[in-house]
Amino acid sequence: MRTFLLAAAFGLATVAGAQAGEQYVDTSGFAIGGYDPVAYFDLDQMPVGQRQKEAVPGNTGITAEFNSAQWAFATEANRDKFLSDPEKYAPAYDGHCAYGIAQGGKVPGNPNLWRIVDGKLYLNITPTVVGLWEQDIDGNLSKSESNWSSSEVQPASDRSWKAIADNDGTYTVSAPLQN
């Protein structure tokens, strides 16, 4: 009986793992473009309608793995914070655009187009989309939460957020920084 229960638990864990969403990883090879996910929580957040401060680049020498992706960090302390509670610091929707999920699609998230709402990091794809998302953050989050269960099992986006012309000027430093 014990063997059966262990086998059943392993089978459920395997199925649950297989249904977990893929983290969006851009051409940098790192989650959220190689920017430090913990550092967002130390940045002053701008009011709705104003552009956020740029994300903090991670470093190729300070990394960790989570959700089958490599993450880069600016400091070892930030890496340790992340490893102690990755769900707290990893962006919602596996790093895909929050507005895109609200609209039923899985598109890249630009690490420099961010907002923290109720302690959770959300990314969007372009400055134009940020404007649409910010018109009704609560309503869009309600839609994205409703859509996420069906979107999560879809493959991660393979598009580069940097290849979208509307993102020109949304970053001044490419991440991660080389060790």
pLDDT of residue 138: 98
Residue 20 binned pLDDT confidence (cut-offs 50, 70, 90): low
A 10 A CB-CB count for 103 gives: 16
Instruction: Lowest mean pLDDT of 19-23, 49-53, 78-82, 110-114, name the range.
Output: 19-23
CA dihedral of 71, 72, 73, 78, whole degrees rounded to 10: 20
What is the distance between the alpha carbons of residues 24 and 52, in angstroms, rounded to a whole number?
A: 21
- Per-residue pLDDT for 2 more than 60? no
Which one, of 109, 91, 89, lies nearest residue 99 by Cα?
109
Can you point out the beta strands (E) in the chain? 59-66, 69-73, 110-117, 120-124
**In this predicted model, what pLDDT tens digit does every residue of 82-131 receive, in sequence order?**
999 999 999 999 999 999 999 999 999 999 999 999 999 999 999 999 99
**pTM score:** 0.88
Q: Which of 11-15, 54-58, 76-80, 91-95 has the lowest mean pLDDT?
A: 11-15
* pLDDT for the residue numbered 126: 98
Beta strands in 68-157 (DSSP E): 69-73, 110-117, 120-124
Give the integer Cα–Cα distance in Å for 93 and 77. Answer: 25
